[in-house]
Chains A and B, each alone.
Chain A
Amino acid sequence: MDETTAVKPEFDYGVFSYASKEEMLEKSKEYWNPGKTQFWLDSGVPLVIDRREEYFIYDMSGKRLIDAHLNGGTYNLGHRNNEVVQAVTMAMQHFDIGNHHFPSLARTALAEALVKSAPAGLNKVMYGSGGGEAIDIALKTARHATQKRKIVSIIKAYHGHTGLAVGTGDDRFSKLFLSDRPEEFPHVPFNDLVAMEDALRGRDVAAVIMETIPATYGFPLPDPGYLQAVKALCEKYDALYIADEVQTGFMRTGELWGISKTGVTPDIMVLGKGISGGMYPIAAVLASDKVAGWLTEDGFGHISTFGGAELGCIAALKTLEICSRPETRSIVHYIADYVGSRLREIQALYPDWFIGIRQHGVIFGLEFAHPQGAKYVMKHLYENGVWAIFSTLDPRVLQYKPGVLLKPEVAEELLDRTELAIGRAWAEVKSL
């Protein structure tokens, strides 16, 4: 082809290109996921993330959004965090995914770093390639250790979509694939210790799995003392306590691990999402020696080619180091303080609409007085340059998750935009 006459596509990404956003969306429906693609078009959020940096994402149209969803904390340190990018880029000169059969340089290094930073007693690390697989590993480990099968979780819990994990969650995701197994996965109401004790009383439960704050349910906060009491019940009835820290780990609560703040020492802890700065998929399970016996009995018991990929380990090592800095902890406390007080000011403007703020650190669930309230707020936030998502399992509640390294001026801008969007959503809902 004559290069001088070739028309350069508008969206050229090197190895692929699109002529327009419309073409891209058509192909997304045709070749990828028609349901999901259409859902966002119908929701008033026609977002196709193109450029991304720090806490900003840009739609293909060039529209800039402040990311206050972070894909569940995946982009906790911002998009393409410079330090993580440098660490992974450097590592690619020497490492690849690695070979799961053998002792591994990077897996061992990350395991040591995680154990040293984790609540006391968690001293073995197992890897998955994502949060769902890590949950499966945690559940299998609990079953092996206790030789019991039942796993208790919370109604409206969400721990992922893999084989076992999906059983712990809402029916919506298990029944679709004929994967619901209520006899093995009893669900109890959140913050209900009587129901929890009833579920455990038979001593046939391998483990209780708890998100430290249930994310997809809109971050309802555990009552003070609830998690401690669940842990005590686990001890009483010989069940293990699995802390799902996928959305509460890595400084999101203002301490490295959300569970540490409760004083509960879990038997197993699951990490994902924010673990690797959003640069390389990896997830991890930490367990005490006492429950991680299968690693000695049959070290090949769980195999994952991509689980613990060495490039991911290096991304995670850097992420862990950044999150562990005293500066980061201080900054998170400032952000939590600032965003919390600004949101309370906004709440005072719309007390009949913006009816609740659930906050722990930089984790926020914002409650609105309409069964689908958060969907309206999400749409107006999008129109006003902020990306935050409604809670799938409680669409009254908006998940609002600022990053742990948010700069003060971006935080101010985020709240200015948020105030406007909440007001406009209220006007729309009132006019319905």
Chain B
Amino acid sequence: MSEMTLEPLMVEPAGVPRGRAMVERADWAGRSYARYDAATVNRIVEAAANALAKHAQEFAAQAVAETGFGVVEHKVIKNLGCSTGILETYRGHNYVSPEIDEANKIVSIPRPAGVILALTPSTNPVATVAFKILLALMTRNAIIISPHPMAKKVCADAARVMAKAAVAAGAPDGVIQIVDDPSIPLINALMTDERVDVIVATGGTPVVRSAYRSGNPAIGVGPGNVPVLVDDTADIAKTAERIIDSKAFDNSILCTNESVVIAQDAIADKLLAAFVREGAYILKTEEVEAIRKVVFPGGHFNAKLVGKDATIIADLAGIRVPAKTRVLVAPFDLVVPEEPLAHEKLLPVLGFVRVPTARRGVDVARAVLRITGSGHSAAIHSTNPSLIMTFSAAVPVLRVSVNVGNSLGASGFQTHLPPSMTIGTGFFGRSSVGENLQPKHLVNYTRLAYNSDVREVMPSFVGLNPWTSPTGPVPEYPLASNEQQFIETHNVRTPLTSDVAELRDEIRRLIVEELKELMKG
């Protein structure tokens, strides 16, 4: 081949222009969707959620196969929780219709963001995709998903299943789109595109920070590193079951999985014994060292082990453990930055520290969160409200799970917090949102405010609805205007879906009939 000099002039890598086209399409789709009425929105949300739920099992298996980590049966739970679960949680909520506050003479009209760019992680791939799509649909936003490259195939399949169902239920074409081949230049181009109205970033710190740097409004959430305090008032058997179930859940790849258990001396041995009954293996001193070397080689977390089974990790460290072992418990002495086991571990290894008093345990929990996880979550197992209050007011997190596993506690699936795959870390965690991400974060309200002078009376706005329900596919398929008239005069049935093949076949059939007549004459 001749000498090629083309490369240096390549300004944009392949895929970037296609990403921009997706934003443009989303812009059009979002503008249409923002005018939809509540009944249609509900129908669309329901269709998309049910479509995903139907494939919950299949996508769970596909996610484990593609990423190489996690537990299929746990991912099924998350996939259902983030599809039909979210549907049930927000059934009856309305982010569409105007709200009237007669006393204050204010009418609030929901106004969607427009185009949401959602970055989703490899750890909860399908669940996060489904979750963000449903929140976008409930609030009448268009959404573009940029999935983690390790899970791109299953995420694309999941998003397409939901998109197809949504459009069939009347949603505008292109309201849900997903990037097939995510790359750093593409993500940067999307994040800095001024047609993107809000970025919702779940992932590693670099992704979240660059979302905030993009110049676009962003909701990003940082990492967790969950301390769990167990005091001498806790029900030890139940506590052990909850902690081990939670730590073992999806092999600990949620940011809400427990990281370090802080046990009051008085109950520490009893708790360890109970852990063993729940399928944990307590590492001996020399085994702890072996685990450090495998999980944190050279002091850095070994990302290849994310979400692997406890038995696999033990095996790599040369430790023989019972075959049914779900969690490896690693006792150590001091929570300091140079102790690897005090850091976030997205695998079923649980740190364990003893403290002489519960009060001292609060300090240790703060030490865990100094390393990472500010703003995220902590857990406490206790029946002492005074301690629970002291603990919660001392730790720099925005949710404390009490007497519940933190995995599904902080994320709201086993508590009454809003169920969420995106845990707002607030000011502690340098985020714009401090709550669990929920639909209300993706919608603003235009407030129509009357003069407060009592002589200025606000008339009734009851029954005034600015939104409409589409009468056919959005956008309408572009037939020639005289063909459109032909359809009207021939009473051709117009399908509601955007699938036009049917309609065109019907028109063609009628035309052929007419032609036959014509040719005869």
Contact = CB atoms under 8 A, between A and B. Distances in A.
Interface of A: 82-83, 86, 89-91, 93-94, 193, 213, 221-225, 228-229, 232, 253-254, 261, 263, 322, 325, 327-328, 330-338, 340, 357-362, 405, 407-408
Interface residues of B, number: 41
21 contacts: A86-B12, A90-B9, A94-B5, A213-B480, A221-B480, A221-B482, A223-B482, A224-B511, A225-B512, A228-B515, A254-B478, A263-B508, A327-B21, A327-B24, A333-B173, A334-B475, A358-B482, A361-B478, A362-B478, A405-B24, A407-B27
Q: What are the 9 closest A-B residue pairs judged by CB atoms, nearest first? A: A254-B478, A337-B475, A327-B21, A334-B28, A360-B480, A225-B511, A336-B478, A359-B481, A333-B475
Nearest to A197: B519
B387 interface: no
Interface in B9-58: 9-12, 17-18, 21-22, 24-25, 27-29, 31-32
B315 interface: no
Taking chain A's interface residues, is the majority helix, strand, or loop, or is none over half, making it mixed?
helix
Given A224-B511, A325-B18, A331-B24, A193 B480 contact: no
A327 B18 contact: yes
Contacts of B351: none
B1 to A, nearest CB: 11
Contacts of B478: 253-254, 332-333, 336-337, 359-362
A360 B481 contact: yes
A162 to B, nearest CB: 29
Nearest to A359: B481
A276 B504 CA distance: 30
Contacts of B29: 330, 334
Contacts of B450: none
Interface of B: 4-6, 9-12, 17-18, 21-22, 24-25, 27-29, 31-32, 173-174, 177, 474-483, 486, 504, 507-508, 511-512, 514-515, 518-519
A243 to B, nearest CB: 15
Nearest to A254: B478
Nearest to B486: A224
A58 B5 CA distance: 35
B10 A327 contact: no
Nearest to A356: B481
A224 B25 CA distance: 30
Given A330-B28, A334-B28, A334-B173, 13 more contacts: A94-B6, A221-B482, A224-B483, A225-B511, A254-B477, A263-B508, A327-B174, A331-B24, A333-B478, A337-B474, A360-B480, A362-B478, A407-B27
Contacts of A407: 24, 27
A91 B481 CA distance: 41
Contacts of B28: 330-331, 334-335, 408
A358 to B, nearest CB: 6
Contacts of A325: 18, 21
Contacts of B17: 82-83, 322
A231 B17 CA distance: 39
Nearest to B2: A94
Contacts of A328: 21
A92 B477 CA distance: 39
